[in-house]
Amino acid sequence: MTSELIMLAVVVALPYLVFANAGWRAIFLLFIPVGFVQEPIRKSIEGQPVSVQLAAVAVFALALFAAVARFGRPTLSPLAGDSSATRKLLIGFVCLIGIQTLNSLIRYGSLMVPMIGMLSYLLPIPALWVAYQFVRQPEDIRRFLMIYVVCALLLTLGVIASYLGVSSELFGQVGGAKMVVYHELVGVVDLYCGYLRSPEVAAWHAAALACLSVVLAVSFKRPAMRVLCPFIVVYAFYTILLTGRRKALAIMVIFAGIYLIGLMNQKRRSSRRTVAAAIMVGLLVTLGSLTMSPESVAPNPYVERSQTALGDAYDRFEKLGLTSIKWAYVAAGPIGLGTGAGAQGAGQVAGIALQGSAEGGLGRIMLELGPLGLILAVLCSVAVARQTRRCLSKANAHSAELFKLALGMLAFVAANVPIFIGAAQIFGDPFVLMILGTQLGFVLAVPRMISISRGRMARMQA
């Protein structure tokens, strides 16, 4: 096991060494390989301590301190822009989270529960701010995406290896129990996670791998990535099927729809070629799903389960998303139970009994922050969406390439919103939150990139 871990660490370090910047930016990029390697490392330690999952957060904290030393204290300016109303909404939401953290601390008498809850709400904000300061030009974003894509590709290979019968002590799910589903004809069907700690986590990173590889292929004129992208998407699709996590397929579909619509609305001729390429990727995904079916009449439970993803989406959205709000209000009342009260696993970590976990994201916000928290969360989301729209408009006016890049990252973040509403468990993972926060930060940094680019051109012409 030790030799396998060393090999994994070395392999994951290679893309970092190839694409990393110098200085404090190298520390920032380091959280990506650490975020992946921490998963098999946790499995190898007796007791599988959850604290190992904070290794990426610790590395990110170093990058945050370095950025603060260089740029000053973090602010909400990237999210709020020039809007004082948005800034007040965001400050109000952050203050409410602070109050509910104290509420949770008093209610449960445990520091761990409110800290877990507060981290899940606030961690994307510093991640967003550091990403905003990190990026100076699109090439910086390409470096970030390349490191993530290569690391995700390498670590999700364990899912395929598990399915093919390769044996490794690092392939088991954290906790020791296998995750399975029941098929009416086949019976019990194993779900695979490979080197990652659960099928849920493996599926999310596979979906992110597919989406961000498409962004790379569409946004940058690199022939190699455009050739490899269709194969990566099919590979990610196949991997998600083996995890049995249908919501990850929904992320891919929603991302593709948003990205296609955005590209078709772009008022530039160059978008036609991009749309055609994106359609080809979609056709290849369909082809990949067909190749999953064996040449026999035997049922394929992985394919059949994936085919119900979109059919069950509305029912899941309604029951776990919208109906959960009513349930949470009945359970928590008008004040809320405090941060961490609805987080799955928080009670086990703290060793105490909680009111119950909320699978739907809206239900969790209602349970923990109360009606005021839910209202503020919705208003802040709308305000930030307006700011991202302004950033996209500036990107479109500046260059087609920058627009494609910003649109792709925003489409990926937006594709996760319905998943959060219906099933928010994966968004309790700090590494996932940091990835999403950085993607939004890159989009909000568009005006900064344009300003730096114009300043550079002015100096060259002087």
The residues facing 188 across adjacent strands are 182
DSSP string across 160-211: HHHHTT---GGGSPTTSPPPEEEETTTEEEE---TTSSSHHHHHHHHHHHHH
How many Cα atoms sit within 13 Å of 110 on the Cβ side?
20
Tell me the Ramachandran region of residue 10: left when phi exceeds 0, alpha when psi lies from -120 to 50, beta otherwise: alpha
Q: What is the mean pLDDT of residues 75-102?
A: 93
Output the pLDDT for position 8. 80
* Interacting residues of 254 by C-beta distance below 8 A, sequence separation 6+: 414, 415, 418
Q: 270: pLDDT confidence band, cut at 50, 70 and 90?
A: low
Q: What is the mean pLDDT of residues 115-123?
A: 90
**Is the CB of residue 64 less than 8 Å from the CB of residue 126?**
yes
Q: 289: pLDDT confidence band, cut at 50, 70 and 90?
A: very low
Q: Which of 250, 202, 259, 200 is nearest to 229 (CA)?
A: 259
Query: Which ranges constitute the DSSP H helices of 184-307?
Result: 199-219, 223-243, 246-265, 270-291, 301-307
Torsion, Cα 93 377 256 155, to 10 degrees, reads: 60
Please say if the pLDDT value at position 234 is more than 50: yes
Please say if the pLDDT value at position 345 is more than 80: no
DSSP string across 359-403: -SHHHHHHHHHHHHHHHHHHHHHHHHHHHHHHHHHHHHHH-HHHH
C-alpha torsion sign, points 131, 134, 135, 140: negative
**Is the CB of residue 168 less than 8 Å from the CB of residue 32?**
no
Q: What is the mean pLDDT of residues 283-306?
A: 45
- Separation of alpha carbons 347 and 31, rounded Å: 27
**Tokens coding 330:** 């009945």
* Interacting residues of 334 by C-beta distance below 8 A, sequence separation 6+: 370, 371
What pLDDT digit, counting tens, does each position of 400-449 carry?
Answer: 899 999 999 999 999 998 888 877 888 989 999 999 999 999 999 999 99
Output the pLDDT for position 155. 93
- Separation of alpha carbons 167 and 190, rounded Å: 14
Q: What is the mean pLDDT of residues 259-286?
A: 61
- Separation of alpha carbons 276 and 272, rounded Å: 6
What pLDDT digit, counting tens, does each position of 331-343 carry?
Answer: 888 888 899 887 7
What pLDDT digit, counting tens, does each position of 191-227 carry?
Answer: 888 899 889 999 999 999 999 999 999 998 888 899 9
Q: What is the mean pLDDT of residues 22-47?
A: 89
DSSP string across 12-67: HHHHHHHH--STHHHHHHHHHHHHHHHHHHHHHSTT--GGGGGHHHHHHHHHHHHH
- Separation of alpha carbons 347 and 114, rounded Å: 11
Number of neighbours of residue 164 by Cβ within 10 angstroms: 9
Q: 299: pLDDT confidence band, cut at 50, 70 and 90?
A: very low
**Tokens coding 172:** 């088991």
Output the pLDDT for position 274. 56
Range with lowest mean pLDDT among 89-103, 127-141, 176-190, 400-414: 176-190
Tell me the Ramachandran region of residue 183: left when phi exceeds 0, alpha when psi lies from -120 to 50, beta otherwise: beta
